[in-house]
């Protein structure tokens, strides 16, 4: 199962909105005869790739897979049928698929057809690998990662609206690696006005388009913003209000520059749910600034926090991260700390994941 989980992780950044899944076929005499993983949405599932590699040696074998085999016909045929055809005798699966069109039906089908099924081996690791998929299935919204760079005294900028450079080259490289593996980046218009970011993954290969979302109630985003010059990296969506949308003088230049305007004016939860339903966004990296971070936190939409803590001290005049919310990185679950040059990344889940 550890080997299957290793293979599952090879699809990181490529399979969304599908989960990361790996599979191993072990012959009756204990030899690994097939290994596979899900490469990308629309292509063969991990079980099929592993069985293809087994080349007919799967009869009487055991299949280890990191998620329940599918039983429905989507863009690919049901994996359970192929498992039966190849003569698999036993299946060890890490966890049940939360997708309501599967959700235990794959296990039931296999058992009804004489396959011995055991569930739970590697469950925690599989769930951790697939937090975005599980959030998408269970809550109908993306898995939200709050990302911020802070000074040693917990400030994210010297003052509101001023661009403040805090992180080192090593931390910036890490941040771009993270960008390469999420479905979308979200920022408030204040960040666009202060920093004029490109919001792309630089210095690392990214296979899929990266959706950039700007939360801008009054359509203050400049049509010449750098992010609108990078449409080859992925679409740019501006979330605004019906009132602002009716102002053709500000809307039309942004649309001409390539932006898509969402003028629903709903709250963040509804907006996130639309991102999931309409654009298949399973993970959203919320990079700031303070207003959008606070709004997402107050609506209970933040699932994970990643902080790049730097040795700078900005003092009492600096902009705080989540002011008055009693936030402490020490309260994060499954907390992880890593040194990145002079900086430290501290990350973990907001809620207990077990």
Give the SS3 label for residue 87.
Answer: coil
Task: Decide if pLDDT at 335 tops 70.
Answer: yes
What fold is seen in the domain 2-129?
Cytidine Deaminase; domain 2 (3.40.140)
Q: What average pLDDT is seen over the chain?
A: 94
| pLDDT mean over 287-297 | 93
pLDDT tens, 3-58?
999 999 999 989 999 999 999 999 999 999 999 999 998 899 999 999 999 988 99
In angstroms, the Cα distances linking 62 to 14, 86, 88, 113, 293 are 27, 11, 6, 15, 47
Give the SS3 label for residue 310.
Answer: coil
According to DSSP, the β-strands at 116-119 and 283-288 are unpaired
CA 183/CA 181 separation, integer angstroms: 7
pLDDT tens, 201-260?
998 888 889 999 999 999 999 999 999 999 999 999 999 999 999 999 999 999 999 999
pLDDT tens, 154-188?
999 888 878 888 899 999 999 999 999 999 999 99
CA 318/CA 300 separation, integer angstroms: 25
Report the percent of the chain where pLDDT is more than 70.
Answer: 99
Of the given ranges (145-149, 159-163, 249-253, 279-283), which has the lowest mean pLDDT? 159-163
Catalytic entry in 47, 86, 158, 287 = 47
Nearest in space to 287 (alpha carbons), one of 175, 141, 163 = 175
Identify whether 47 is a catalytic site residue: yes
Write down the pLDDT at residue 165: 86
pLDDT tens, 115-136?
999 999 999 999 999 999 999 9
Write down the pLDDT at residue 299: 95
| pLDDT mean over 295-322 | 94
Give the SS3 label for residue 336.
Answer: strand
CA 148/CA 267 separation, integer angstroms: 22
CATH of domain 142-349: 3.40.430.10
Annotated domain spans of the chain:
2-129, 142-349
Write down the pLDDT at residue 288: 85
When computed from its CA atoms, the radius of gyration of the chain, rounded to whole angstroms, is: 23
Contacts of 276 (CB under 8 A, 6+ apart): 17, 136, 140, 141, 142, 282
Task: Decide if pLDDT at 266 tops 60.
Answer: yes
Q: Report the side by side order of strands in the sheet with 304-309.
A: 260-262, 236-239, 211-215, 184-188, 283-288, 143-150, 304-309, 343-349, 333-340
Task: Let me know how long the chain is.
Answer: 354
Other CB atoms within 10 Å distance of the CB of residue 215 = 24
Contacts of 158 (CB under 8 A, 6+ apart): 164, 314, 317, 318, 319
Write down the pLDDT at residue 354: 57
Nearest in space to 216 (alpha carbons), one of 235, 182, 189, 180 = 189
Q: Which long-range contacts (CB under 8 A, 24 or more apart) does 104-107 make?
A: 104/68, 105/71, 105/72, 106/68, 106/69, 106/70, 106/71, 106/78, 106/79, 106/80, 107/68
């Amino acid at each position: 199962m550890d080997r299957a989980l290793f293979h599952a992780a090879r699809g990181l950044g490529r399979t969304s909105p599908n989960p990361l899944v790996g599979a191993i076929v072990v012959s009756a005499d204990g030899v690994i005869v097939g290994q596979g993983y899900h490469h990308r949405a629309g292509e063969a599932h991990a079980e099929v790739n592993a069985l293809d590699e087994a080349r007919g040696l799967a009869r009487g074998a055991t299949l280890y897979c990191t998620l329940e085999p599918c039983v429905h016909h989507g863009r690919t045929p049901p994996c359970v049928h192929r498992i039966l055809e190849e003569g698999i005798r036993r299946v060890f699966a890490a966890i049940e698929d939360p997708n309501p069109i599967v959700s235990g039906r794959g296990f039931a089908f296999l058992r009804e057809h004489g396959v011995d099924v055991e569930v739970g081996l590697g469950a925690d690791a599989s769930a951790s690998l697939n937090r975005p998929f599980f959030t998408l299935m269970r809550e109908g919204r993306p898995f939200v990662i709050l990302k911020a760079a802070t000074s040693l005294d917990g400030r994210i900028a010297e003052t509101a609206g001023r661009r403040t450079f805090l992180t080192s080259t090593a931390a910036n490289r890490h941040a771009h690696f993270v960008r390469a593996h999420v479905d979308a980046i979200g920022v408030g218009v204040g960040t666009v006005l202060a920093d004029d970011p490109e919001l792309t993954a630089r210095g690392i290969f990214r296979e899929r388009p990266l959706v950039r979302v700007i939360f801008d109630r009054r359509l203050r985003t400049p049509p010449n913003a750098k992010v609108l010059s990078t449409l080859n990296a992925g679409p740019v969506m501006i979330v605004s209000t019906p009132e602002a949308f009716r102002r053709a003088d500000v809307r039309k230049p942004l649309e001409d520059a390539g932006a898509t305007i969402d003028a629903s004016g709903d709250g963040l939860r509804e907006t996130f749910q639309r991102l999931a339903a309409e654009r298949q966004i399973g993970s959203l990296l919320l990079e700031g600034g303070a207003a959008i971070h606070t709004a997402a936190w107050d609506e209970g939409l933040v699932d994970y926090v990643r902080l790049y803590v730097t040795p700078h001290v900005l003092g009492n005049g600096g902009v705080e991260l989540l002011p008055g919310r009693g936030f402490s990185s020490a309260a994060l679950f499954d907390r992880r700390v890593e040194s990145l040059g002079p900086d430290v990344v501290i990350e973990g889940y907001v809620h207990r994941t077990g």
